[in-house]
A and B are shown apart, each in its own frame.
Chain A
Amino acid sequence: MGFLVGRLLGLVPTLAGVVVVTFVLTHLLPGDPAVFFANSVTADAATIAAVRQKLGLDLPLWQQFFVYVGQLAHGDLGQSISTGQPVAADLLQRLPASLELTLVAFAIAIAVALPLGIAAALRPGSLLDHVCRVLSTAGVSLPTFVSGLLLIYLLYYLLGWAPEPIGRIDPFAIMPPRITGLLLIDTLLAGDTEGFGMAARQIVLPAVTMALFALAPLARMTRAAMLGVLSSEFIRTARANGLRRRTIIVSYALRNALLPIVTTLGMIFSNMLGANVLVERVFAWPGVGSYALDSLISLDYAPVQGFMLVMAGIFVLVNFVIDLLYAVIDPRTGLLTHA
């Protein structure tokens, strides 16, 4: 327990660092938000000054920082000027969309990469191994904005197989009551299978686009870890003892290979969450990535700061969970009994 609290406290300086860096970065952006947002052609210098005062930008920078930290202490992430909403509300509204997309993409990636990696490791140097390597490397080499665009052109515009690449659900459909914010789960909870189908169809294209990208590191790590384990003493012993091949692979080798795989999983997950800016852009997915991008371009400080902070928070939490998983998976702790 003490270990847990200590680890959690250790996260605080990291987040504090993120707050400072983001604040400095946004305020370094050349451009005066007051000028940008006083956008009527009849706005004169007095109007701009009034706007600047209203936005609190007339204070010295260090005072602005303390005002911002004070707000943060109350859980207030500030107000977005471009959307006119509180940043916290905007993020809450959009985060589930990004999360859902990332999770689905993640699931697809795991479902493909693990078997591929294991198969490659079982027959290293075989044709299958080379195919696996080339495929996964090709996947990670696809810029998401290129593959996304090509998928849309092919599957929606030319062939008409995929639904309209706009948003998360058919616009004329019933939105399920918001429980988790993840449409795939909410529709099921509401017993709305049709809605589930619709949401699932919408998510396929963007999720596949993202999954392609996550495939390579996972498959590669699985292969490497499995290779390492398969060549180790205890597997050879198990083989010599005539244990069934399946038993050896699943309950001995895979379990021991899980450690590095889980670490990679954590890295990839948080990377995907932050890196789906471009995918969201291409698919008009109402997530946090495109929100941050728009805010950054339009000098809207609060949303950029809020986005960075939330993303960093998720990142450190995921890593924290991975650390815990480590303790659980590690055969030496004995927390996971034989499957």
Chain B
Amino acid sequence: MNRRDLGKLAAAAGLMGLAPMRWAHAQTRAESLRVLSEAGPNSFDPIGVGVNRSAIQAHWNTYDRLLSFGTQTRPDGTLTFDYYKIEGELAERYEVTDDGKTITLHLRPDATFHDGSPVTAEDVKWSLDRVVNTPVGKSQFSTGSMTSADQFTVVDARTIRITVPRADRFTLPNLAGTYPVIFNSKLAKEHATAADPWAAEWLKTNVAGGGPFKLDTHTPGQSLTLSRFDAWKNGALPGFRRVLWQMVPNAQTRRTSLERGDADIAQDLPPQDAVSMAQEGKVKVVGVPMSGAFQFIGMNNTKAPFDNVKVRQAIAYALPYQQMFDAALFKRGQPLFGGKPNEADGTQFPQPLGYDTDLGKAKALLTEAGFPVGFETTFSFELSLATVAEPVSLLVQESLAKIGIRVTINKVPGGQLGTLLQNKEVPFFFEGSAAYFADPDYFFRIFYNGPTRWNFGSYANPEFQALVEKTRFESDRAAYEADVTRMINLAKQEVPIILLWQPALDTGMQKSVEGYKYLFHRMLELRSLKRA
């Protein structure tokens, strides 16, 4: 059976009222794309309670943002984003004053929303106001010194000005991030109520944007169809006219469909499948180590025995890194073990922490720490990470037993580990997380500092905290790098958490699909894809 039977497809499009019949008849396989992912969006609104990662893939492709990150090419030829180069998207250009406090953005004159109405500065202001008026949005935007609607001013119909109290390196990246999508405010306001002034209910299930793709149909948890917005002006027109995005929870089924040519792209491939698919060579597998993302072994630095730095170092020397990397991750990623010990190697972070497996050193450190016969502890990980975490935990258990540390493994169902971490109740665990912005101080501020659960080691070194504060607005490059170097040294010497690796984002695709680009949020950007 020909799965992409022309007539059937045309009839489908016509019947569902998706497109004019004549257009549909011109449809060919070359112009439609079928994507399979593990989960689907639970909202089309980037800001809300419990909005999942797949939601980014939905709003990233159906909305525009004012700015976007540039593009660079990796050594293997894969396109990736360039954090340090911010370009205009909906804003065709922008100016920053010398004191860094005022940003003026000029909107593209011919840009329209999907309903044909022009994009105005009013829409932009409404959209930015909306971010700072929602708790989740505000906590993100405040990392870029944007906290109040007063900071967004409409200059004229095509110009908007953003003022910040002081120059902030994170203001522009925040505008290029996932939250500040530009809504068709007139349309959205029609659905706002007194109880819901920002139309959160309506925007959760509807798209009011002007992005490169329009939403045609959505069956929650099953599928989503998108069609190209032909009047899109903010970049080159996407290569595909229609996109069918389906949710297939089972990774093996996604893989099989791709290899048999039924699907064009399969997302979120488990490492072992990525390896064997690449070996078999029926399809293309693109694996990009996720920048900013990392998996690690966490220890509660406030509780014995992990409050002792020697214990943490002993564990860092006792982990069987290479085995874990080979057997659990199938080498799909960038190691964060090994490397230069004790001292910073450049100012990028995460970077390898400088620890290698050395049981002799581990045993010695443990004895020095006052645990010559070891101790008992529990190692937790989350159910959803089990494919990688389970083998990791078994290897950790086995290896630590050799220096006398007896580990019980605890697999925690999804929602529960977050709460345990929030209450700082987990002594020893495997987790993963990611920071969107590449600046090392941003990484340290979230993951090595503060009272939230994201400070995975509950690390509280006064010197480190002072440096985190100091680097926040540091504009002197040399001073900044000196401070970051010191923080990296501390992260290596005191090992509040043991970084393991940056896992690769493995995406499988037909050989005919080109233009794949890795983005900071790890979801698919559809506009650059095309069929060769």
Contact = CB atoms under 8 A, between A and B. Distances in A.
Report if A and B touch in the complex (beta carbons < 8 A).
Answer: yes
Interface of A: 29-33, 35-48, 50-51, 54-55, 81-85, 90, 93-94, 152, 156-157, 160, 164-167, 170-174, 281-282, 284, 286, 290-291, 296-299
Contact of B15 (A39, A85, A174, A286): A174
Interface in B251-301: 253, 256-257, 260, 262
Contacts of A152: 253, 256
Given A35-B422, A84-B220, A298-B414, 4 more contacts: A30-B419, A39-B418, A174-B8, A284-B248
A50 B135 contact: yes
Contacts of B383: 297
A45 B452 contact: yes
A54 B41 CA distance: 20
A126 to B, nearest CB: 43
Contacts of B36: 166
A54 B201 CA distance: 13
18 contacts: A32-B419, A35-B419, A38-B49, A41-B435, A42-B446, A45-B451, A47-B135, A50-B135, A51-B49, A81-B50, A82-B42, A84-B43, A85-B220, A165-B253, A170-B3, A172-B9, A173-B8, A284-B249
A44 B139 contact: yes
B158 interface: no
A146 B403 CA distance: 39
B460 interface: no
B221 A83 contact: yes
Contact of A172 (B8, B49, B419): B8
A171 B34 contact: yes
Given A41-B434, A164-B262, A286 B222 contact: yes
A164 B249 CA distance: 14
B244 interface: yes
B204 interface: yes
A-B CB proximity, top 6 nearest: A299-B415, A37-B50, A31-B416, A50-B135, A84-B42, A36-B415
Contacts of B357: none
Interface of B: 3-5, 8-9, 11-12, 15-16, 34, 36, 41-43, 48-52, 135-136, 139-140, 142-143, 204-205, 219-223, 244, 246, 248-250, 253, 256-257, 260, 262, 383-384, 413-416, 418-420, 422, 433-435, 446, 450-454
B204 A84 contact: yes
Contacts of A290: 249
Secondary structure of the A side of the interface?
A: loop
B418 A31 contact: yes
B453 A93 contact: no
A164 B143 contact: no
B358 to A, nearest CB: 33
Q: Which of B3, B12, B418, B451 neighbours the largest number of chain A CB atoms within 10 Å of its CB?
A: B418
A93 B218 CA distance: 12
Nearest to A46: B135
Contacts of A83: 42, 220-221
Nearest to A166: B248
A44 B248 CA distance: 33
A90 B136 contact: no
B416 A172 contact: no
B139 A172 contact: no
A31 B221 contact: no
Contacts of B143: 42
Contact of B415 (A165, A281, A297): A297
A168 to B, nearest CB: 9
A39 B51 CA distance: 8
B452 A36 contact: no
Contacts of A174: 8, 11-12, 15-16
Q: Which of A40, A48, A84, A160 neighbours the largest number of chain B CB atoms within 10 Å of its CB?
A: A84
B223 A36 contact: no
A40 B12 CA distance: 39
A83 B52 CA distance: 9
B136 A38 contact: yes
A280 to B, nearest CB: 10
B50 A40 contact: no
A83 to B, nearest CB: 5
A293 B481 CA distance: 48
Contact of B5 (A46, A84, A172): A172
Contacts of B5: 172
Contacts of A37: 49-50
Nearest to B382: A297
B422 to A, nearest CB: 5
B492 to A, nearest CB: 22
Nearest to A167: B222
B276 to A, nearest CB: 13
A47 to B, nearest CB: 5
B267 to A, nearest CB: 14
A299 B39 CA distance: 17
B257 A297 contact: no
B433 A41 contact: yes
B143 to A, nearest CB: 6
B163 to A, nearest CB: 21
